[in-house]
Amino acid sequence: YTWPNPAYDYVEEFLWLELTGFAAIPALCGPNAANPNGTTPSIQAQWLRTAYHDMATFNAGVGGIDGSLFFELDRAENVGVGLSNTRNQFIKHISKYTPIPDLIAAGAVVAVGQCGGPSIPFKPGRVMAAAAGPSGVPVPTGSLADHTAAFQRQGFTATEMIGLVACGHTLGGVTPADFPSINTGTVIAPFDDTRTFDNHIATNYISGPNINPLVKGPAVTDSDARIFASDGNVTMNSFASSATTFNSVCASLLSRMINTVPTGVTLRDPVVPIPFKPRDFLLSITPSGTLNLQVTADIFGASVINPSRVVTLHWADRKSTTCASGACSASPTSTTSNAALRNGNTLQSYKFSVTVSATASFSSFWFTVDEAGNGANVVTQNNGGANYPVDDTVVNVPAYSCGLFSGSNIARITTAVRTDGTTQASGVSVEAMFQNQVAMRADLTTVAATLGTSPIVSPVSQYAYYTALIPGDSSLSCQYLNFEFSATFGGVVHAGALLGGACNVRSIHIAAGCSST
């Protein structure tokens, strides 16, 4: 991993640092004293079922995890309020870097992990379907032959079918409103006696108590009974006798399930947490015409919170000159920690903000980390040796950028392009990302920025100001999610930082509610 990598950074922060609240949506899995048998709906179970139902229509390179399920919720094979609840949660997290099908796959990974199941690598890169696809999700009244054929079409053998169903039905149960003929009660009938992701789906089936509503009748809907017994219970016995076998088989099968994608879609490398990484980098011009660099250094891992640790930011100026000892270094302006992230991880963050003249500017930065705070063992974090690069060609003008602009424009984004009084930039533009919750995708609009002045920021001889007015419907208070700006200069495209819009839970680097002047 080398910084910056916006697509990787966004997903890593979304999935591991939980900055958007996605992984925090599911309440803790149990065992829960009030509901030891899982008679209340489990968000984790809904998320895992969602992933299977999206994948289950895969056929010869078409379909798979492509989000088409959310256009298919009116089909009988997709009955269940859990699926529409999941859609309503996931559409709030659509972004350029997290399309619906990646959210569906990530949801399965998070759900299994939150319930104590195995860790499944998450690879991003899925592509959202434009419309509903073919049907074909197995239903409980299907015959064993129907189900075996359906799983074969999905890419799983008869034995793997037993495994995948057991790995799914270790969570959740049958809801009376969805399947009144199977569950005649008033609360969810769980598949096994725990809410956690464990081999009780198998131990209960082999040794009792057998509470699985798809095993204990009525016979016509006993699909789990038919599937589990289809190899003479060999697979279910192996799961019942070894929790480790169950977990490792599930990790492999569920990983294949979420990575079943249409031909032509290529998944990227798994997004794993980075133990030390800069986040929320922003280079901007202050109203007095100086340059401000903001960045947060994140330290992530099993138990990283250490009040003694001293983290220092260092930088080189735009000529790559390193200052005399200590003159180009700074201490954090604030430190925060989070002791309870997904899978037992913790996070300690050090926020920095330093201001220099536009002449001096920046070309790179790096950090030193003194773990004990006594100078005995100081480690340099420098992006694998090359330092974290700073491009000061395109910088943000936060004092003249804002969202929820009145009238027909919903945001004004001002950027400063380094010209040093000579060459003019071309193609200065702002990409605005709208969350299209009907088509369930991120719509990207590029708006050209025009050369002008800023009434708020002092003119600086090194920079020219470009402003883009982002059109939209201001009656919708939550329409845009974020903005990225870039300029072509000397034939090279220079990108600025990502700005979070008003309906982004990560509303970074942009003020809401500016006036029209």
Rule CB under 6 A: which residues touch ligand HEM? 41-42, 45-46, 48-49, 52, 80, 82, 138-140, 147, 164-165, 167-169, 171-175, 178-179, 223, 257
Q: Which residue has the tokens 């202050």?
A: 286
* Among candidate residues 25, 129, 81, the one with its CA nearest the CA of residue 441: 129
Choice between 248 and 477, CB closer to ligand HEM? 248
70 contact partners, CB below 8 Å, separation of at least 6: 87, 90, 91, 100, 440
Other C-beta atoms lying within 10 Å of the C-beta of residue 377: 9
- Residue at 24: amino acid letter: A
Instruction: State the residue for tokens 């883009």.
Output: 468
The least CB distance from residue 373 to ligand HEM, in Å, is 47
Distance CA 190, CA 35 (A): 11
Q: What would the DSSP string read from start to end of 427-496?
A: EEEEEEEEEETTTTEEEEEEEE-EEE--SSSPP-TTEEEEEEEEE--TTSSS-EEEEEEEEEETTEEEEE
Instruction: Report, in Å, the least distance between residue 148 CB and ligand HEM.
Output: 9
Sign of the Cα torsion 328, 329, 334, 337 reads: positive
Pick from 185, 165, 183, 163: nearest CA to 174: 183
| Minimum CB distance to ligand HEM smaller for 53 or for 96 | 53
Which residues touch 183 (CB under 8 Å, ≥6 apart)?
Answer: 173, 174, 175, 176, 189, 213
3-state SS track over 203-231: HHHHHCCCCCCCCCCCHHHCHHHHHHHHH
Query: Which residue number, 49 or 279, has a Cβ lying nearer to ligand HEM?
Result: 49
Give CA–CA dist 496/494, Å, rounded: 7
Query: Per the structure block, which two tokens stand in for 319?
Result: 């000529």
Kind and range of the H or E element at 255? helix 243-258
Dihedral angle, C-alpha 128, 131, 136, 141, nearest 10 °: 110
Q: How far apart are CA 475 and CA 461, in angstroms?
A: 39
